[in-house]
Amino acid sequence: MSARLAQSKERSQVEQTDPLAVIFSLSATIVNLTSETITARNKMIAIFANLIQSASNLPTDVSALESSMSALESEIGQLESSSVPLEHWIWIFTSLVAVGVAVELWVILHEYRGDKATWASARSGELRSTGRPSITKLIVEVGSVLLITIGVTGELGIGIRIASINGVLRAKSSELRSKSDQLIALVTQQAGSANTSAKGAAEAASEATASADTLKKYLAQLATPRDIIISDRDGDHEERTVRFAEVKKYPGTVVVIQWIPEFEPQTYARHLAGALNDCGWRVELTTPQQSHIPYELMQEGVRVATLEESLFEPGDPSSAKPKHPFPSRSKAFAPATALVKLLDLDLGPPYGPEYFGVHWQPEWNDPRFSSFTKLGVVFPDAAVLVLVGSKPAEYAAPIHKKQKKQNAAP
């Protein structure tokens, strides 16, 4: 019985979270109920019908709503208090059931012992009279059955009563919630106009400030030329030192640098040449006439290229067969990778685009897939080619991933 009571309370709590769903499900059949049909139905449906039929007549002024809500809260409190004594009766009736079951078990065991003694006597040949039936045993058996019957009946009655109280509580809670929503709507409506105006002004000011900040960042990035920082930039001294040390592991590496004929790329290329020269690399500056790489093939940003062995067997390009195993990387690949990681500190996010700021792109030693060697470009042994193009358009605008997240944050 206690389990049923717990389930009843749980259903009551679930239905209280969405009483309108219950009301709407019944509205199709009880909206037009007359007084005769209402009296023929149970109290729960009558309450729902009364709520639906009177919904349009609810008070709309604040003082009336507050008065009505106070009365409902008082009724709900009284209903909750009325269910407390019933909960104590549940324990009493449950105890009666338990005692009755225990007595019934005792009677069963007593009868078993008597039957066992009779069986033993019969087996030994000593037949004894069963004696006069025990009045005490009869009273005990009847009493145990009465205890169980009273307990079960009491639990059923208390359960029905509690279910009825819970139904009324749900109806009152639904009405109270409806009036509370109306009160909130009235108060919100009265303050809504002023609040909306203030909020709109604040949002407009915030958007204007954000736009001004974005424009400032754009102009600052646009006016700042690319450069390679030697010591520290925004607290990255330790990481920068590590990446410079990695580049210095490859002294004597030949690096060929070419730039497009603009002031900013030329300035960056000369600063890069000086930094690599300090790292022990052999720097060679070249022009399209010397390298045979036309300006038209130079992309935005910085491209680092190395001459790599083709991954495919010689033959027809349409039926290229991959080599197995794949050839190993060239000697220039490791220094080129270290150089890309170093340059990415200043050319990659958050100071430039994620890929076109600086990236490694191989030049395959295969006329079917090459871009430069078929034009007559000759890579010195284990050399690294650096092509400095114009500053990427995305570079100047603060729209890379890190800044996107910052701009999207509330």
pLDDT at 281 over 70: yes
Amino acid at 315: G
Buried b (16+ CB within 10 A) or exposed e, 343-371: bbbbbbeebbbeebbbbeebbbebeebbe
pLDDT at 337 over 70: yes
Contact by Cβ (8 Å): 402, 346: no
| Residue from 313, 275, 48, 324 nearest 167 by CA | 48
* Rounded average pLDDT over 176-192: 70
Render pLDDT for 101-153 as a digit per residue (tens, 0 to 9).
777 777 777 676 666 666 666 666 655 555 566 677 667 777 777 777 777 77
Contact by Cβ (8 Å): 341, 330: no
Q: Is 317 exposed, middle or buried (0-12, 13-18, 19+ CB in 10 A)?
A: exposed
Confidence of residue 21 (pLDDT cuts 50, 70, 90): very low
DSSP state of 26: H
Q: Which residues contact 19 (CB under 8 A, 6 or more apart)?
A: 170, 171, 173, 174, 177
pLDDT score recorded for residue 119: 67
Q: Where do the domains of the chain lie?
A: 2-200, 237-408
Of 206 and 68, more confident: 206
pLDDT at 374 over 90: no
pLDDT at 54 over 50: no
Overall pTM surpassing 0.85 (yes/no): no
Confidence of residue 238 (pLDDT cuts 50, 70, 90): very high
The token duo for 287 is 């022009």
pLDDT at 262 over 70: yes
Sheet with 358-360, strands from edge to edge, namely 282-285, 254-259, 383-388, 302-305, 358-360
Confidence of residue 40 (pLDDT cuts 50, 70, 90): very low
CA 254 from chain centre, in angstroms, equals: 51
User: How many other β-carbons are positioned within 10 Å of the β-carbon of residue 99?
Assistant: 15
pLDDT score recorded for residue 214: 74
